[in-house]
């Protein structure tokens, strides 16, 4: 199994009111969903400033989670509300609410299916109607790896934040085996942390292959490169 650290290539501002749950690029635009009851939102973000370009709040009763675009629809999971939402990806206009039987955590796509996590060691491959087509058990050194959170499809692999850690794992989407571990300790320096700063969470890759990481209520978003250990 490969072991990596991270090297910061560039840093950008990130809104400290953004409890990051979902992070991805689509058609050159950075999208972000944020969580917390009363503060959950979907937004498009100006990379250079960290400021929202368009921001739509979810109702106070919903805790927003992972998000991604598939086709013309933007999907947003909720944590324990047992629903997911569809929005128009281009306009962020609400389209529909869909029943969702599990906890919502992370969400990504391979371009054909939606891939979701629920905090367990299982990833769920779903069609556009959120019907499960396949379940994938994720393992690290032969043992189930739980707390899989925010997801990103990168170069044919699934990257996943491991909740409450500074670790990202790179998962084989066929076998579920963790093929690499990325150690992100120290990515956000201690001098930039406050009492409100929360955990690493947020992985995005742009159309040119650049990879970006951030965290919940972090003041920075980082473009990074992997460094072999």
Give pLDDT, residue 194: 84
In eight-state DSSP terms, residue 146 is: -
Long-range CB contacts (within 8 A, 24+) of 99-103: 99/130, 100/130, 103/79
Low-confidence ranges of the chain (pLDDT < 70): none
Distance CA 186, CA 189 (A): 6
* Complete edge-to-edge strand list for the sheet that includes strand 73-78: 64-70, 73-78, 83-88, 94-99
Cα angle vertex 202, ends 90, 180, to 5°?
125
In eight-state DSSP terms, residue 17 is: T
Name which of 116, 150, 155 is nearest 218 in CA terms. Answer: 150
CATH 2.120.10.30 is the classification of domain 2-228: yes
pLDDT in tens, 10-32: 999 999 999 999 999 999 999 99
Residue 158 bridge partners (DSSP): 153, 171
Distances (CA, A) of 219 to 27, 124, 170, 198, 200: 25, 31, 25, 11, 12
Distance CA 52, CA 45 (A): 4
Evaluate whether 16 touches 196 at the Cβ level (below 8 Å): yes
Give pLDDT, residue 197: 84
In eight-state DSSP terms, residue 190 is: G
pLDDT in tens, 186-217: 999 988 898 888 899 999 999 999 999 999 99
Looking at the chain, the number of H-run helices and the number of E-run strands are 0, 22
What does residue 108 show for φ and ψ, rounded to 5 degrees?
A: -150, -175
Pairing between β-strand 41-45 and β-strand 29-34 as defined by DSSP bridges: antiparallel
Give pLDDT, residue 44: 96
Evaluate whether 217 touches 196 at the Cβ level (below 8 Å): yes
Distance CA 80, CA 196 (A): 23
Distance CA 193, CA 198 (A): 9
**Sequence ranges of the domains in the chain:** 2-228
Evaluate whether 23 touches 218 at the Cβ level (below 8 Å): no
Give pLDDT, residue 157: 98
Give pLDDT, residue 186: 92
């Amino acid at each position: 199994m490969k072991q990596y650290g991270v090297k910061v290539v560039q840093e950008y501002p990130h809104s400290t009111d953004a409890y990051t749950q979902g992070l991805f690029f689509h058609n050159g635009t950075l999208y972000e969903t944020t969580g917390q009851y009363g503060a959950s939102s979907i937004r498009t973000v100006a990379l250079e400033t960290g400021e929202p370009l368009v921001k739509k709040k979810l109702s106070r009763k919903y805790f927003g989670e992972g998000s991604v675009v598939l086709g013309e629809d933007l999907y947003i999971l909720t944590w324990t509300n047992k629903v997911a939402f569809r929005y128009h990806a281009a306009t962020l206009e609400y389209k529909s609410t869909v029943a969702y039987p599990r906890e919502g955590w992370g969400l990504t796509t391979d371009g054909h299916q939606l891939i979701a996590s629920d905090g367990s060691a299982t990833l769920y491959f779903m069609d556009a109607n959120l019907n499960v087509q396949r379940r994938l058990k994720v393992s690290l050194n032969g043992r189930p790896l739980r707390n899989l959170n925010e997801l990103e499809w990168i170069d044919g692999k699934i990257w996943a934040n491991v909740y409450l850690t500074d670790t990202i794992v790179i998962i084989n989407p066929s076998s579920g085996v963790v093929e690499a571990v990325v150690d992100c300790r120290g990515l956000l320096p201690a001098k930039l942390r406050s009492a409100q700063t929360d955990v690493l969470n947020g992985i995005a890759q742009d159309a040119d292959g650049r990879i970006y990481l951030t965290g919940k209520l972090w003041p920075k978003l980082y473009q990074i490169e992997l460094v072999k250990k």
